[in-house]
Amino acid sequence: MDRPLGRQPRWLGSPWSRGVAAALAGAVPALTFPVPSWWWLAYAALVPWLLLVRTAPTYGRAALDGWLGGTGFILAVHQWLLPSLHVFILVLALLLGALWAPWGLLVRALLGGAPGAGRCAAALVLVPSGWLMVELVRSWEYLGGPWGLLGASQWQVPPALRLASVGGVWLVSLLIVAVNTALAELIARPAARLPAVAGLLVCALAVTAAWLWAPLPRPAGTVRIAVVQPNLTGTPAERLARSEALTRSLAGRGVRLVVWGESSLTQDPADRPALAERLAALSRQTGAELLINADSAHAERPGISKSAVLIGPDGPTGERYAKMRLVPFGEYIPFRSVLGWATRVGKAAPTDRLRGTATVVMPVASAGGLRVGPLVCFESAFPDMSRHLVRDGAQVLVAQSSTSTFQESWAPAQHASLAALRAAENGRPMVHATLTGISAVYGPRGEQIGERLGTDRSAAAVYDLPLAEGTTPYTRFGDWAVYGAVGALVLAGGYAGLRALSSRSARAPR
């Protein structure tokens, strides 16, 4: 049965003002991602939201505060989608924001009222675990994918990147929410400061242990690669001509692999002999193979797929990868029969793209058989895809993207930052190549290599990419942090159920 938690501040007495406060509190963590990139704010960004939810007068209100806060978070992190989806982005935010309603219940149950030391200690484990379940569910590709995971805000913080090599971005998210929970406990319940301080110390020790003992990638030489960013949104022919000119400028510079961005070609060179010969001539002139990306049509079924195609001096090598995970509403519409109206209010996909069926590791002959694992567009947001490529033998991860639609927004910087996490998680360098920026390259520890090509650049940039050997704990053991969070919640649920049964039995008439 719900019980009020005592007298509330007057401005929180109104359901409307409380709802606005919840949405604004949920939006605060968006500032930790690029472009603002206030990474340090992540360790306190959830505190206002936590303090608000814990004072909810009822469990129903706590669930609503969680829902509205989640809606505010989704809107803030994805605000760059507004020109494309218009009012539909609010519908999506409300649907995804509902995932935080159970988290609101959990926060109120553990932090509401005057929790003792035991409940505060449990909150340090269960509140972060509950948050991770929200991140896990919304990472399902049909719900939009893992864009804006809290741990991804730490893409430029070396200790956090080292922690990611141990447990992936999931472990970083857990630690951030644990720190926020401890700070909320110190503010709301100073009498229970012992578990809060202990929790902060455990977090600090975990980061220190990862920094000192997590295995580092072993250097394994370098390879010279180049990224071609035409930054031209004219006709396909103009874009191709600009990409060719930039690629020719690489001749004689010792480049072994040239990477073009997503949809760098609107025709598949496998179906166009003249185009294939033009690209093969570029390969011969530069002495490097080209990893291009084509909108490939399929004779057996209507539609196109985004295909990474490797081009050598004799034309297409036969090595290709078709994008498997598509952008909801951008490349297909989930449940089109129900949600197809989105095409009338925004720029949602008029037709569905075709999916690939498996990841591919490509050997690059011009680089001595270097094994490259390609990804397309927002596939770089999925930790499991990069991990599987590395386990299959990829020495270099490559993401081909465009983001030309969102060039004046936070999207290019957010997208480029993800490659640092994927590199650090797996101890392999990663190349993020785009048509219009931001293009960036990261080493096997997630460190930036060379210059970033911003959205104002049209250039061919050369990088001496450090290669690495060895296997990170995350590559070897995978999402163990997620399984641990699930286990903690299951155990806590079982314990609460047993206590409820025991209490009911004690009250039963004899």
**What's the pLDDT tens digit per position in 251-278?**
999 999 999 999 888 888 888 899 999 9
Instruction: Report d(CA 262, CA 292) in Å as an integer.
Output: 8
pLDDT greater at residue 190 or residue 424: 424
Contact call for residues 227 and 439 (beta carbons, < 8 A): yes
Taken in order 472, 473, 477, 480, is the CA torsion positive or negative? negative
Nearest CA among 85, 48, 86 for reference residue 69: 48
Q: Which residue has the tokens 């501040």?
A: 9
Give me the residues paired with residue 464 across strands. 224
Q: Which residue has the tokens 């090595």?
A: 319
Determine if residue 268 is left, alpha or beta; phi over 0 gives left, psi from -120 to 50 gives alpha, anything else beta: beta
- Residue 2 scores a pLDDT above 50: no
- Residue 223 scores a pLDDT above 80: yes
Q: Which region among 83-92, 95-104, 309-318, 415-424 has the lowest average model confidence (pLDDT)?
A: 83-92
Instruction: Report d(CA 173, CA 179) in Å as an integer.
Output: 10
Q: Which residue has the tokens 């505010």?
A: 72
pLDDT at res. 287: 94
Instruction: Give the Cβ contact number of residue 39 at 10 Å.
Output: 18
Instruction: Report d(CA 475, CA 425) in Å as an integer.
Output: 7
pLDDT at res. 336: 59
Instruction: Report d(CA 26, CA 187) in Å as an integer.
Output: 18
Q: Which region among 9-13, 77-81, 358-362, 494-498 has the lowest average model confidence (pLDDT)?
A: 9-13
Q: What is the pLDDT of residues 329-356, one digit of tens each?
A: 666 666 555 565 555 555 555 566 778 8
Contact call for residues 176 and 151 (beta carbons, < 8 A): yes
pLDDT band at 113 (very low <50, low <70, confident <90, very high): confident
